Structure 1
Amino acid sequence: MSGRRKPDWLKMRPPSGQEFTGIKQTLREHDLNTVCEEANCPNLGECWSGRGDDGGGTATFMLMGHKCTRSCGFCDVDTGGGEPLDPDEPVNVASAIAEIGLDYVVLTSVDRDDLEGQGAEHFAQTIREIKKRHPGILVEVLIPDFQGDETLVRKIIDADPDVIAHNVETVERLQGHVRDPRAGYEQSLGVLEQVTRESDIYTKTSLMLGLGEYDHEVYQALSDLRETDVDIVTLGQYLQPSRMHLDVEEYVHPAKYRTWQEVAEEELGFLYCASGPMVRSSYKAGELFVDAILRDGKTVEQARREARRASV
């Protein structure tokens, strides 16, 4: 299906604007990577061009280099690893955030299976550096699975970000087809379950659609995630980065995304679901939702109780 013309609802706005240019320049000055660029995110222009009345532009910083030790069939990030970690990166990220003027920041990373500790302490150090320099900023992290090592996940929890995300990516049946063999459905659920069990930090995950999944499999995945007490879920369309990547099996219609949002929020009780063809795991609307509930002073448990009552 990859050769078919994309439907109109998948047309993207090209990057532009003063805010976009300023963020790009600041990132280059501090020698930083973003998943927005490395993964060729379709929302780069929208996010980097600003959030209108809600604040300045937003970017997702990618830590620990631009080469991943894993090779997932959907991902446009370069494969390799072996690069030494930049000890100045935590400070450089914190400094760039101040220059850009963000009040909500997302951190993610490549997988670094080649490193002792898989880079968990470097990730945690970056969180602490941001919190130390900018006490009022909200920090969301999109973490690797750290091969299911609970001591490494605990390092992230102890650094006290405001949201911990980890993506299951696709339904259980397609895991081996879509993701690197070192990843897995149960392993990813285990990471999310540990965060909900050991902390009062909001949890988040993401599913790609259009890879050949069936509706009942999507429903099962959402149910499994709620059973694990995941708070926030995003669903978006898989887009083939190049002919070397997995084919798109279906361009899912926007109406179905609206249905999944209703199922997730009203039936299953997620706190929030961002669902649409252009939605990605780091998505502006989701960040604004988390920003609002955290700055409103609600505890995680209060927000979860309200969601449970609303879904009954």
Structure 2
Amino acid sequence: MKEAIPGGEKYVQIKKKLRELKLHTVCEEAKCPNLGECWSGGETGTATATIMIAVSKRFCNVKTSRTPPPPDPNEPGNVAEAIASWGLDYVVITSVDRDDLDDQGSGHFAETVQKLKALKPNMLIEALVPDFRGDSGCVQKVATSGLDVFAHNIETVEELQSVVRDHRANFKQSLDVLMRAKEYAPAGTLTKTSVMLGCGETPEQVVKTMEKVRAAGVDVMTFGQYMRPSKRHMPVSEYITPEAFEKYRVLGMDMGFRYVASGPMVRSSYKAGEFYIKSMIESDRTAASVS
């Protein structure tokens, strides 16, 4: 499987602005294979980016610090300024865990979303958040900030949580976060989660996990192939076939998920998926205004 080398006018424009404002993206930090497609707009024409704010998982290439500095108070404004100048249709705001902060970074998330919406009311914003250690106040702060999609990744099947994720994270806590977000957020806000396959899970475990995620009211689920970023990261257990990914997609839609993106190159923040989510939200709002 191959991806085109990133390039093009929009790609250069976004990269230049990021450096000027000293902003970071998961697209670059995690060495995402879809970076060129997402930043250029690709076949759908929907240009997207995943911005990291308030700057450890065993499977992630994002650099973290044991003693991170406090969040830059100017960062929400800088992020809003940058994105307003790019002409993006859909943006994902995320961060590393900030357990060192009293509000675990939830206030920084909320302020960034609010400043973006003030400048670009029609831009769709997804917040991809940590589990905030299950703190409902933090979840509520982000869920009611004006975002369009509340995302939190369960990362792997229930049985492998302690192997793949940080020891402070767990499946039940993640499901609780997603359920509370759905409860707190205004009507029409979507919830979303993601799983990386190839970590040692069985098909039966994947299906059982999907059932529990759907029972928690999650609207969107994505599946991608885990790829080892370096030798110090967890090894790949198995490369899942495209046919198996497609079976999970079909099964997910049959279970009642509103959208499922499933494929080897799919990531939790994935341009093609965001294009369909964008269409879904716009359709919902049109139907609501008519009724």
TM-score by length of 1: 0.88
User: How far, CA to CA, are the matches of 2:284 and 2:195 in structure 1?
Assistant: 29
Among candidates 124, 127, 150, match of residue 138 of structure 1: 124
Residue deviations 1:39-80, cap 9 Å, x none? 11111111112234534x321000101xxxxx2210111121
Q: Deviations over 1:201-255 (max 9, x none)?
A: 2000000000000001000110000000100000000000000000001010101
Counterpart selection for 2:246 from 258, 265, 277? 258
Is contact 1:51–1:58 with CA below 8 Å preserved after alignment? no
Is 1:92 matched with 2:81? no
- Displacement of 1:37 in angstroms is 0.8
Match of 2:263 in 1: 276
Q: Which residue number in structure 2 is paired with residue 35 of structure 1?
A: 26
Gaps of 5+ in 2: none
2:63 to 70, 78, 81: 78
1:304 — aligned with what?
none
Q: 1: CA distance between counterparts of 2:73 and 2:285?
A: 36
Matches within 5 A, 1:1-312: 9=1, 11-52=2-43, 54-55=45-46, 57-65=47-55, 71-80=56-65, 81-199=67-185, 200=187, 201-266=189-254, 268-298=255-285
User: Which stretch of the first structure deviates more once superposed, 171-180 or 79-88?
Assistant: 79-88
Task: Out of 138-147 and 11-20, give the one that drifted further.
Answer: 11-20
1:135-174 Cα offsets, whole Å, 9 max, x none, are 1111111011000000011100120200000000000111
Task: Determine if contact 1:106/1:142 at 8 Å carries over to the other structure.
Answer: yes
What residue identity is the alignment partner of 1:234?
Answer: T
- Segments of structure 1 that go 5 or more residues without pairing to the other structure are 1-8, 66-70, 302-312
| Structure 1 residue 197 displacement after superposition | 2.2
CA distance, structure 2, for counterparts of residue 280 and residue 120 of structure 1: 23
Structure 1 range deviating more: 288-297 or 128-137: 288-297
Fraction of identical pairs, as percent? 49
CA drift of 1:103 comes to 2.1
The amino acid of 1:102's aligned partner reads: L
CA distance in 2, matches of 1:210, 1:87: 39
Residue type at the aligned position of 2:34: N
Confirm or deny: 8 A CA contact 1:254 1:276 kept in the other structure.
Answer: yes
Aligned equivalents of 1:138 and 1:47: distance in 2? 15
Question: What letter corresponds to residue 54 of structure 2 in structure 1?
Answer: M
What do you get for the CA RMSD once the two structures are aligned?
1.5
Q: What is the deviation of 1:296?
A: 2.0
Change (3 A) 1:300 1:129: farther
Query: C-alpha offsets along residues 237-296 of structure 1, whole Å, 9 cap, x if unaligned?
Result: 000000000000101010100000000002x11000000000000011211111112222
- In the alignment of these two chains, the number of paired residues is 285
Shift of 1:105: 1.2
SS at match of 1:235: strand
